[in-house]
Structure 1
Amino acid sequence: MQKEYKTVYAGGEGEIIEKKSRFIATVRPVESEEEALAFIEEMRKKYWDARHNCYVYSVGMNREATRCSDDGEPSGTAGRPMLDVILGQDIYNVAVVVTRYFGGVLLGTGGLVRAYSLAVQTGLAASTVITKKLGISLKVETDYSGIGKIQYIAGENGLPILDSEYTDKVILHLLVPEDQVQQVKKHITEGTSGRASMEKIKDVYFADVNGETKIWEC
């Protein structure tokens, strides 16, 4: 598993005008090639009267399914420049369709490359792009004398408390970034004088989305 990667949380739409031609970029997060192809077909139906619906998608942590299409534009002037933007920004699990309504003025090879590249950049700027980081759900079990110290350690390290149980003992589930696990365990052991037991429950990815921590199972 990658320790972190960039992806699209919420897609968006951007538009540019280049010599009277409209370029509309629609961005969508996708988890499979089937999802990407369904999105492309959706855009083709929506913009059925457009001259071109060029696309790019990249799915998988090793970019196992990565494709692009010029859709009738001169070879290498649309799909590849669109892919170069995705690769350049290092974004995974994303699909982009750039729809062109021809304005009657030829742009030339260089003009098309610039227009399709800028359209994708504009679409991504209108989307919510996040960085997912690898972490774990850590189960911490202690007595009531240790709860205050664990809450303090969680607060000091910015560790969200995912869940809590209060019975004859206290159980907290903490979200801990993968690169902080050993340090956090050490602090909890020292802070509770060894009265806390800890167990990794599962690996998760997490990200900050508009100031809120979101979590995904790996």
Structure 2
Amino acid sequence: MINEFQTIVHPTEGFYKEKGSKFLSFAYHVKTEDDIKAHLEALRKQYYDARHHCYAYIIGLKEQAYRANDDGEPNHSAGDPILGQIRSKELTNCMVVVVRYFGGTKLGVGGLISAYKIAAEDALNKVEVVKIYSQTRFSISFGYEQTSEVEGALAEFDVDYEDKVYTADCQFVGLLRDEDVPVLAEKVSLLKGVDFQVLQGSI
């Protein structure tokens, strides 16, 4: 299904050592740029004496954003192999950071690519993977006297509500799996005076 994706549940850690250099890897579930910055800042504070904090991430569902950062290592020798491991696991909303302590012996570009790949893989091999689904944002507007009818129609669906307004003119705003939208729209169309709209900002 095109709207089905995979992500990780809990943070995990991995480790790899090569010619004295230590590579500590950390996998996180992330959804926003703020999540990413928070994990990076925490790791940089905890491992302040490490030479490199290289990372990669993929976030988003239908529209995905990704980045790979070498943090001072030779171009494409760290971030890209980390990103490659996230992609090989077919994950999104996932970030992997690899912290390197230099061991005094240069590994060369090939050695670095291999080390960062193995370290990232070690953390990702320990993750618990769950399925997530892209969702469509919608609103339903109705009169207060129709509340029970509308709530009855919605009860059959797994809705993530963002807002519920109970006044003379009520409105619910929520997120619903893409494939459920036409089904709900059809049900709501049978209720007189109830307005169903698909909103921008689906995820």
Cα distance in 1, alignment partners of residues 93 and 100 from structure 2: 23
Q: CA separation in 2, counterparts of 1:98 and 1:122?
A: 11
Could you list the runs of 5+ residues in structure 1 that have no partner in the other structure?
A: 136-171, 180-197, 200-217
The match for 1:48 is: 48
CA root-mean-square deviation: 3.4
Q: Which residue matches 1:88? A: 88
Deviating above 6 A after TM superposition, structure 1's stretches of 4 or more consecutive aligned residues are none
In structure 1, what is the Cα distance between the partners aligned to 2:178 and 2:120? 32
Say how many residue pairs are matched. 158
Structure 2 letter corresponding to 1:43: L
Match of 1:107 in 2: 107
Are the structure 2 counterparts of residues 53 and 134 from structure 1 closer, same or farther at C-alpha, using a change threshold of 3 Å? Answer: closer
Taking structure 1 as the reference length, what is the TM-score of the superposition? 0.60
Change (3 A) 1:67 1:178: closer
Q: CA deviation at 1:20?
A: 1.5
Structure 1 pair 74/134, CA: closer, same or farther in 2 (3 Å)?
closer
1:77 partner SS = coil
Query: Structure 1 residues 111, 34: closer, same or farther in 2, change over 3 A?
Result: same
Partner of 1:124: 124
Q: 1:106 to 1:10 in 2, by over 3 A?
A: same
User: What TM-score, normalized by structure 2, do the two folds share?
Assistant: 0.64
Structure 2 counterpart of 1:36: 36
Counterpart in 2 of 1:10? 10
Give the secondary-structure state (helix, strand or coil) at the position aligned to 1:49. coil
The DSSP-based 3-state class of the residue aligned with 2:34 is helix
In 2, Cα distance between equivalents of 1:46 and 1:63: 30
Question: Which residue type is aligned with residue 132 of structure 1?
Answer: I
The alpha-carbon deviation at position 54 of structure 1 amounts to: 0.5
Quick check: which one's strand share is greater? Answer: 1
Which residues in structure 2 correspond to 1:146-165 (within 5 Å)? none
Give the counterpart letter for 2:102 in structure 1. F
Provide the rounded CA distance (Å) in 1 between the counterparts of 2:134 and 2:34: 26
Residue 46 of structure 1 aligns to which amino acid in structure 2?
A: Q
- Partners of 1:87 and 1:174 in 2: how far apart? 31
Q: Kindly, what percent of the aligned residue pairs are identical?
A: 38
Q: How far apart, CA to CA, are the structure 1 residues paired with 2:131 and 2:11?
A: 15
CA deviation string 1:34-82 (max 9, x = no partner): 1111111111111100011101111111213x11211111111001111
CA contact (8 A) 1:15 1:122 kept: yes
Deviation at 1:113, TM superposition (A): 0.2
2:26 and 2:2 mapped to 1: Cα distance? 27
Residue type at the aligned position of 2:55: Y
Answer yes or no: is the 8 Å Cα contact 1:11–1:128 preserved in 2: no
Please give the secondary structure, in 2, of the residue aligned with 1:10.
coil
Give the Cα separation in 1 of the matches to 2:130 and 2:81.
22
Q: Tell me by how many angstroms 1:98 deviates.
A: 0.2
- CA drift of 1:2 comes to 4.4
CA apart distance, 1:96: 1.1
Q: Provide structure 2 residue ranges, at least 5 long, that are not aligned to the other structure.
A: 136-154, 159-176, 180-186, 189-202
**Corresponding residue number in structure 2 for 1:63:** 64
